[in-house]
Amino acid sequence: MRRFFRRNAAGYLFLSPWLVGFFLLALGPILASLYLSFTHYDMVSTPRWVGVDNYVYMFDRDRRFWRALSVTFHYVAIAVPLRLAMALAVAMLLDKGLRSIGVYRAIFYLPSLLGASIAIAILWREMFGLNGMVNEALAMIGITGIGWITTPSTSLYTIVILAMWQFGSPMLIFLAGLRGIPRDLYEAAEIDGTPKWRQFFRITLPMLAPVLFFNLVLQTIEAFKTFTSAFVISNGSGAPADSLLFYTVYLFNEAFKFFRMGYASALAWVLLIIIGAFTAVAFATSKYWVHYENERD
């Protein structure tokens, strides 16, 4: 054992900032939250053990939990495919060999850097407000707009649009994937008289499947965790009519507004299990649609 540490001391020394960070700032709170999820804890008094009561309450009696789940699922189901489609479409355009491609890449990536900021969320709120830019633009063509954010049936879609606009990160990954597809596959298809749409579905998509899978998993996880935009646009309440009550917004309110830290911890663990389940399903089904060039048989 001593020999092991002596031989690997330098490695562990270099790893130490990450190890200290992980054990103190991540693993500690993770384990603490697991414990707290079985307690009643208001952040002032000592946590009181309540067993599985928090979980029973969540599934059995908390209608807002189901509402938050519904909003989040709805969002994930719409935003993830749209964002991936947008990212792939732009990546394919950039793959056409444009001049100054680096500049375009930076421009298209910029929203992803800005997108998670509070400033952009506020800007979004103003743009889609009753007197916002969107309605001003619609007015120019004679359409009277509504308060897109204050109307429950449309509010979620304003956040979906914001998500679509932040396609930079998956776009870069798609672009790298597209660059990796050998050109002669398309040339062979071209000579065979394969129409472009068929080349896309029969060559591009299957060849991109590993990258698509990676993006799908990552973007799904990210979508489940969406917080800032929903919190800022709904003024932290999930309004109107809980249409923006994202899971994370609900969790945040339970923890830091109503100081039900034990219940919020239980919510966090359920979210973790949901994300884990989605990821597991994605991995389990991937063998049917993801092809890896160097896969072992």
Residues at the interface with other proteins (CB under 8 A): 182, 184-185, 187-195, 198, 202-203, 206-207, 209, 291, 293-295, 297
Cα-flanking dihedrals φ and ψ of residue 56, to 5°? -65, -45
Please tell me the number of Cα atoms within 13 Å of 204 on its side-chain side.
18
CB of 100 to other proteins, least distance (A): 18
CB of 90 to other proteins, least distance (A): 24
Tokens at residue 5, please? 């540490």
- Are 124 and 229 within 8 A, CB to CB? yes
Q: Cβ closer to other proteins: 60 or 192? A: 192
Q: Cβ closer to other proteins: 198 or 257? A: 198
Report helix, strand or coil for 40: strand
Tokens at residue 137, please? 């633009």
CB of 198 to other proteins, least distance (A): 7
CB of 115 to other proteins, least distance (A): 33
Report helix, strand or coil for 97: coil
CB of 297 to other proteins, least distance (A): 6
Q: Cβ closer to other proteins: 40 or 202? A: 202
* Positive/negative CA dihedral, 104, 106, 110, 112: positive
- Are 243 and 156 within 8 A, CB to CB? yes
- Are 171 and 215 within 8 A, CB to CB? no
- Name the residue among 119, 111, 125 with its Cα closest to residue 169: 111
| Start-end of H helices in 180-255 | 183-191, 196-199, 205-224, 228-233, 247-252
CB of 13 to other proteins, least distance (A): 42
What is the DSSP-derived secondary structure letter of residue 47?
Answer: P
CB of 216 to other proteins, least distance (A): 17
